[in-house]
Amino acid sequence: MQWANFLHIYQPAEQQSDILEAIVTQSYRPLLQGLKRHKRVRLTLNVNGALLELFDRDRHHDLIDILRQLGREGRIEFTSSAKYHAFLPYLEQGEIVRQVVANNEANTFYLGDAYRPKGFFPPEMAYSEKLAPIVEELGFDWLILDEIACGGDGARAVDYTKGYRIAGTKVRVFFRERRLSNLIMSAVVRSGESLREAMPEDSGASRYVLTAMDGETFGHHRPGLVEMLFDILKAPEFEFITISDIPRYYPEEREVVPVTSTWASSHEDIRKGIQFLSWSDPDNPIHAWQWDFTALVLDEVHAMDPRHPAYEPVRKKMDVALSSDHFFWASAKPWWSVEMIEVGAFRLLETLRSMPGVTPEKLEKARNFYEHIISTAFNWQRSGKIRSMMREQKTILRVPFKERTLGQGGGER
């Protein structure tokens, strides 16, 4: 049986050095050194260009060297993505292309000819129908989405003996197996044997396995999981392949129209039309202000003359400010961080302040957005609203894990 495992590693631009050092020590270095030792293992990896720049900044050059070596040996297949982890369904085409081009430039600079991406990873596996033609135009062969995007029915809809192609395009789409991925991340699966036992009863040897997870899960979010991962990867019954290998083994394809979703979307979210709840909750005023603030600043950036000496520095600030992190950490269902919320709002404010010729009215509007966002976040925290939302989430999590893995998605944070 073929197993294509996908890992995604990312840290926000300008991540604090002490935090990065901890993640490198706990997760990235043991993970990459383990991949180097276990020569039988092959996998597909997304490493955002922003993270490679952080490795360079803090002199973790050994990690870049290992990535480059494993890529050249064909043991790691790299994907492309948005450099600063932007939430692509809410961006216009020009901004999506800019993020992807910047990511490719950074990856090529650090990884050289080891970086030959055929596939595309949309951050958070966030998909809307406008994405497929953009991915095709950028020259990618495939993208990866969560199984829930295949008709909204998840594993029940995906046939893992076949490939899929997005209707109206030449772009292939591969669907992550949510339950198996979650079982590995939660350490319920600890060996090749337990992985086989966790697979659907009708799974025969003539199908492939496709798991996808945040790399930081192993060692950083969950200590000890790096060793456990390599115990699973020792299983002799699996042949480890990259995602791009799948069509060679399973050439038969079906056409599909993926559902708007993320790897955190539930069936209920899709039914209600709130697939992007963690980034744009209709009941969350902070989210509304964040997106309105983003639109205000982005409109001003678009109005700038690209020939102006200040344009490139401003444009770079805007690229970083489009990160999805501060939206995610303002969701409070359950993810919450006043610090990350403030960082995102301040980046937007500073981007506008650094632009020449912005009217006092626009600056005042921006300051109001910033103050509304931060004051509301602190009020929610002081008032106990966040604790209440956390308790509601814990109630949801009392559902048996076996059932929850089909309804809850996403990666660790």
pLDDT digits (tens, 9 = 90+) for 175-195: 999 999 999 998 888 777 788
Instruction: Please give the model's pTM, rounded to 2 decimal places.
Output: 0.93
**Residue range of the domain that includes 364:** 285-387
Are 208 and 100 within one domain? yes
Residues facing 176 on adjacent strands:
146
- What is the pLDDT averaged over residues 78-98? 99
Cβ(157)–Cβ(128) under 8 Å?
no
Least confident residue range of 27-41, 83-97, 114-128, 379-393: 379-393
- Evaluate if residue 203 carries a pLDDT over 80: no
Are 35 and 180 within one domain? yes
The answer to whether position 336 is within a domain reads yes
Say which CATH number the domain at 23 has. 3.20.110.20
Are 89 and 197 within one domain? yes
Are 76 and 102 within one domain? yes
Residues facing 45 on adjacent strands:
7, 78
pLDDT digits (tens, 9 = 90+) for 157-169: 899 999 999 999 9
- What is the pLDDT averaged over residues 63-72? 99
pLDDT digits (tens, 9 = 90+) for 339-376: 999 999 999 999 999 999 999 999 999 999 999 999 99
The answer to whether position 411 is within a domain reads no
Range list of H helices, 73-191: 93-111, 131-137, 178-185
Last residue of a domain, one of 238, 271, 304: 271
- DSSP label of 216: G
DSSP 95-128: HHHHHHHHHHHHHHHHHGGG----EE--GGG-B-
- Evaluate if residue 282 carries a pLDDT over 90: yes
- Evaluate if residue 201 carries a pLDDT over 90: no
- Kindly report the CA angle at 88 between 404 and 381, in degrees rounded to 5? 60
The answer to whether position 393 is within a domain reads no
Q: Which amino acid would we find at residue 8? A: H
The answer to whether position 392 is within a domain reads no
Helix pair angle (338-353, 285-303), 10° resolution: 20
The CA radius of gyration of the chain, in Å to the nearest whole number, is: 21
Mean pLDDT, the chain, integer: 92
**Number of Cβ atoms within 10 Å of the Cβ of 305:** 10
Are 349 and 250 within one domain? no
Are 373 and 265 within one domain? no
Helix, strand, coil shares of the chain as percentages rounded to 5?
Answer: 50, 15, 35
Are 220 and 303 within one domain? no
Are 9 and 133 within one domain? yes
The answer to whether position 42 is within a domain reads yes
The answer to whether position 158 is within a domain reads yes
Strands 43-47 and 142-146: unpaired
Are 76 and 50 within one domain? yes
What pLDDT, on a 0 to 100 scale, did the predictor assign at position 134? 99
- DSSP label of 169: S
Question: In sequence order, which residues have a C-beta less than 8 Å from that of residue 23 and are 6 or more positions away?
Answer: 11, 216, 220
What pLDDT, on a 0 to 100 scale, did the predictor assign at position 334? 86
SS3 state of residue 409: coil
Last residue of a domain, one of 271, 297, 327: 271
Are 261 and 379 within one domain? no
The answer to whether position 123 is within a domain reads yes
The answer to whether position 297 is within a domain reads yes
Are 262 and 312 within one domain? no
Are 248 and 334 within one domain? no
pLDDT digits (tens, 9 = 90+) for 208-265: 999 999 999 998 888 888 988 888 888 888 999 999 999 999 999 999 999 999 999 9
Least confident residue range of 122-136, 164-178, 321-335, 385-399: 385-399
Report how many domains make up the chain: 2
Q: Which two tokens stand for residue 397?
A: 């999590």
- Kindly report the CA angle at 266 between 168 and 282, in degrees rounded to 5? 95
